[in-house]
Structure 1
Amino acid sequence: MTETISRELRRNATGFLGSLYNSLAGQAPAYSIAGGAAFIMSYAYAASPLAMLLTLLGVLAIVYSIFVMARKYPHAASFYAYVTNTLNSRVGFFNGIVYTVFYSIIGVGSIAIAFAYLGTEGIYAITGHPINPLILLPIPIVLALVPAVLGIRPTIRTEMTLTSIEIAILLLFVVLSFAANINRLSILPFTVQGTYQTSPSGILMALSGGLVFAITYFMGFEVSTQISEEVRDTRRSVPTSTLWATVLMGVLYMLVTYAIILNIGYSQSSINNFVNEAEGMGPNPVYTLIGHYLGEAGLILFAVSVMLSVFGCYLATLNATARMLYGMARDGLLPTWLAETHPRYKSPHKALYLSTAIAIITIMLAYLASYVSGYYKPITLTYNAMEYAYAIDSLYYVLSLLLIAVGALRVTTWRGRVAITIGAALLAITFYYSVTGMAYLYILIASILLIVVVELTILRNKLDKIKITTCPYC
Structure 2
Amino acid sequence: MFNEQTSTDRGLRAGTLGAAAITLMVVSAVAPLTNMAGVLPVAILFGNGTAIVPAFMLMMILVLIFSVGYVAMARHVQNAGAFYTLITKGLGKTVGGAAAVVALLGYNCMQIGMSGMFGPVCTDLVKTFTGVTVPWWAFSLGASALIGVLAYRRVDLSAKVLGLLVLAEFAVVLVLDLMIVYKGVPGGFDLAPLSLSGMPSASALGVTFVFAFGCYIGIEATTIYSEEAKDPKRTIPLATYAAVVLIGVFYSVSTIWIVEAAGTATIVSQLQNIADPIQFVFNIGNQYVGNWLAVLMRVLFVTSVFACLLAFHNHVARYFYFLGKEGLMPAWLGRTHDTYQSPHRGTIVQTIIALAVISIFAISGLDPLLTLFAWVANVAVISIILLMLMVCFAIIAFFSKNPDLEPNQLIKTKIMPAIAATGFGIVAYFGISGFDILTGTPGPLAIALPSLILVAAVIGAVRATTRPDAFARLSADQI
Instruction: Give the alignment's TM-score, normalised by structure 2.
Output: 0.86
Deviation at 1:168, TM superposition (A): 0.6
Counterpart of 2:158 in structure 1 is 155
Contact 1:80–1:328, Cα closer than 8 Å, also in 2? no
Contact kept in structure 1, 2:328 and 2:463, CA below 8 Å: no
Aligned to 1:8: 11
Whether 1:194 and 2:203 are equivalent positions in the alignment is no
Change (3 A) 1:338 1:52: same
Q: 2:330 maps to which residue? A: 335
* Contact 1:8–1:346 (CA under 8 A) maintained in structure 2: yes
Relative to 1, partners in 2 of residues 1:117 and 1:12: Cα closer, same or farther, differing over 3 Å? same
Query: Is the Cα–Cα contact under 8 Å of residues 84 and 469 in structure 1 kept in the other structure?
Result: no
Indicate how the Cα distance of structure 1 residues 216 and 350 shifts in structure 2: closer, same or farther if over 3 A, else same.
Answer: same
Corresponding residue pairs, total: 451
Structure 2 Cα separation of the partners of residues 430 and 118 of structure 1: 29
Specify the SS of the correspondent of 2:388. helix
Q: Is the 8 A contact 2:207 2:430 kept in 1?
A: no
How much does 1:97 deviate?
1.2
Following TM superposition, by how much is the alpha carbon of 1:441 offset from its aligned partner in structure 2, in angstroms?
4.3
Partner of 1:385: 372
Within the candidate set 422, 428, 453, 1:444 is matched to: 453
C-alpha separation in 2, matches of 1:259 and 1:122: 26
Partner residue of 2:442? Answer: none
For residues 58 and 218 of structure 1, the distance between their equivalents in structure 2, rounded to whole angstroms, comes to 11
1:225-258 Cα shifts (integer Å, max 9, x gaps): 1111011010111122111111110111011211
Q: Call closer, same or farther: CA 1:464–1:273 in 2, change over 3 Å.
A: closer
How far off is 1:125 after superposition?
6.1
Between the aligned partners of 1:264 and 1:128, the Cα distance in structure 2 is 30
Percent identity between the two aligned chains:
22
**Residue in 1 that maps onto 2:355:** 360
Please point out which of 411, 427, 431 is paired with 1:430.
427
C-alpha contact (below 8 Å) 2:328/2:464 kept by paired residues: no
User: Equivalent residue for 1:408?
Assistant: 395
1:273 equivalenced with 2:282 (yes/no): no
> Which string of whole-angstrom CA distances, capped at 9 and with x for unpartnered residues, describes residues 303-346 of structure 1?
11111111111111111111122122222332222121111111
**1:98 alignment partner in structure 2:** 102
Identify which of 452, 468, 471 aligns with 2:475. 468
Change (3 A) 1:136 1:469: farther
Alignment partner of 1:241: what SS?
helix
Letter in 2 for 1:349: H
Alpha carbons of structure 1 residues 109 and 144: separation in structure 2 relative to 1, 3 Å: same
Q: Contact 2:13–2:228 at 8 Å: present in 1 too?
A: yes
Q: 1-side partners of 2:454 and 2:74: how far apart?
A: 30
| Aligned equivalents of 1:122, 1:421: Cα separation in 2 | 46
* TM-score normalised by the chain length of structure 1: 0.87
Q: How does 1:134-149 map to 2 (within 5 A)?
A: 134-149=137-152
Which amino acid in the other structure matches residue 40 of structure 2? A
Shift of 1:428: 2.1
How far does residue 386 in structure 1 lie from its aligned partner after superposition?
1.1
Give the letter aligned to residue 389 of structure 2: L
Rounded to whole Å, the distance in 2 between the matches of 1:77 and 1:124 is 42
- The corresponding residue for 2:242 is 244
Alpha-carbon distance in 2 for matches of 1:117, 1:469: 47
* Structure-2 change in CA distance of 1:274 and 1:61 (3 Å): farther
Matched letter for residue 106 of structure 2: Y
Question: Which residue in the other structure is 2:381 paired with?
Answer: 394
When residues 465 and 327 of structure 1 are mapped into structure 2, their CA distance, relative to the original with a 3 A threshold, is: closer
RMSD value, Cα: 2.6
* Distance change >3 Å, CA 319–CA 171, structure 1 → 2: same
Deviations 1:272-320 (Å, cap 9, x if unpaired)? 2233245x34762112112223322212211111111111111111111
SS at match of 1:144: helix
Task: Give the direction of change, closer, same or farther, for the CA distance of 1:230–1:253 in structure 2 (3 Å limit).
Answer: same
CA displacement at 1:430 relative to structure 2:
3.1
Q: Which residue does 1:235 correspond to in 2? A: 233
How far apart are residue 58 of structure 1 and its match? 1.6
Given that 2:24 and 2:159 are in contact with CA atoms closer than 8 Å, whether structure 1 keeps it comes out as yes
1:259-298 superposed matches below 5 A: 259-267=257-265, 270-277=266-273, 280-281=275-276, 284-298=279-293
Q: 1:165–1:92: structure 2 CA closer, same or farther, 3 Å change rule?
A: same
Give unpaired runs (5+ residues) of structure 1.
none
1:419 is aligned to 416
Give the Cα separation in 1 of the matches to 2:112 and 2:174.
29
1:448 is paired with a residue of what secondary structure? helix
Alpha-carbon distance, 1:114 to partner: 1.8
Is the 2:110–2:376 contact (alpha carbons within 8 Å) kept by the matching residues of 1? yes
**What runs of 5+ residues in structure 2 fail to find an aligned partner?**
400-405, 434-445
